[in-house]
Amino acid sequence: MNLSQIVQYGLAGITVGSIYAITAIGFNIIYATTGVINFAQGEFLIVGAMTAISLSRIAPLPVAILGAVLITTVLGGLIEIVFIRPVKHASVLRLIVITIGLSILIREAMLHVWDEKVRSLPYFTGTPVSTVTILGAHISPQILWVLGVSAVIVVALTLFFRFTRTGRAMRACSDDRMAARLCGINDRWMVTLSFMLSAGIGAFAGCVISPVTQTQYDMGAPLAIKGFTVAIVGGLGNSMGAVAAGLFLGLLEALVMSQFATAYKDVVAIVVLLLILIFRPSGLFTRSDVSALRTV
């Protein structure tokens, strides 16, 4: 492979990888506050994208995206209020099973609302064939959008958790829920907020990647698996680790795709997942760094 091909595959890998990272961060946020792995995380991306696609027919693109993000955020909150909160004294396992059921319901609802056709959002800038040249490789400007949006999300979250009162309250909740409650923090609201936050960033990520990968109603589950893999590899709760792990997985998939058939692309993530579970379930980047996202 020559340089431009490497750059091509590399950027493709980083692009997809950053979406995995955002999904993983979504997992981390909910996991940190509740200890629950939200199996429906992947669906948030798809719901966001699908909603934006529908809205974009009646509104300009930025408005459609904003609307979709807001709607999905609210959906995330509703899900928590209706399905998670009423379950008293639930074991973590029971809650996980609930999120599994939720992911199915959301997916089936999407099927009935939008049918099984493949759709996509229009490219944010330019056309499907416009390109930008970097190091000899021709890439779509959408890739730059993906990287940019992902970076913005990560930075915004870091600032949020470190510097805002709500963000610190959420971190307190994830460290010790009872203690946080005793300090006057409304921990139940923090849980709802964590779901809303995860849904929101998921929706945003889903929108920005939609022109590149297309969107179909059942893409949520594979995305959730990969997001979870990345979350585990990076260390559950460690969002800097999630970013690194996401990029790693994206690049690995790109490598496999460049050398072998595309069909096995999805298998890469699963194999990585099994390997990490077997050898290093605490993740590659165990929480020794004190970054602001540590507890997220």
Partner 1 sequence: MMRLRIYYPVIAGVLVIVTLHLVLAAADATYYMTQITMSAYYALVVIGLCLLMGYAGQISLGHAGFFAIGGYTVAVLTTYNLATHRSAPLVARCHSLGLLVEWQDLYGREILSFSPWVAFGAALLLTAIIALVIGMPVIRLKGHYLAMATLGFGLIVYRIALGTPILGQADGISNVPPFPLFDGLQVNGRAPFRVQNYYIAWTVVLTAVVLSLNLVHSRVGRALRSIHENEEAAHSLGVNTYRYKLAVFILSALFAAIGGALLTHYNGSVGPSEATVMKSVRYVAVVAVGGMANLWGVLLMGVLLNFLSLRGVFGTFDDAVFGGILIGMMILAPQGLLRASGVRAIVSRLAGRSHG
Count of positions on this chain that bind partner 1 (CB under 8 A): 39
8 A C-beta contact, residue 140 and residue 212: yes
CB nearer to partner 1: give 108 or 176.
108
Candidate segments 12-20, 237-245, 274-282, 288-296, binder of partner 1 by CB under 8 A = 274-282
CA angle 186, 167, 153 (to 5 degrees): 135
Distance CA 243, CA 154 (A): 9
Residue selected from 37, 71, 173, 201 as contacting partner 1 according to rule CB under 8 A: 37
Residue selected from 4, 66, 78, 83 as contacting partner 1 according to rule CB under 8 A: 83
8 A C-beta contact, residue 72 and residue 61: no
Q: Is 191 exposed, middle or buried (0-12, 13-18, 19+ CB in 10 A)?
A: buried
Token pair belonging to 21: 């990272």
Residue selected from 49, 199, 245, 273 as contacting partner 1 according to rule CB under 8 A: 273
CB nearer to partner 1: give 240 or 273.
273
Kindly write down the DSSP assignment for every residue of 124-148, as one continuous string: SSS-TT--EEETTEEE-HHHHHHHH
Decide: is 93 part of the binding site for partner 1 (CB under 8 A). yes
| Contacting partner 1 within 205-234 (CB under 8 A) | 221, 225, 228-229, 232
CB nearer to partner 1: give 119 or 266.
266
Q: Is 252 exposed, middle or buried (0-12, 13-18, 19+ CB in 10 A)?
A: middle
Decide: is 289 part of the binding site for partner 1 (CB under 8 A). no
Contacts of 196 (CB under 8 A, 6+ apart): 73, 74, 76, 77, 80
CB nearer to partner 1: give 79 or 254.
79
> Which parts of this chain interact with partner 1 (CB under 8 A)?
37, 83, 86-87, 90, 92-98, 100-105, 107-109, 112, 221, 225, 228-229, 232, 263-264, 266-267, 270-271, 273-274, 277-279, 281
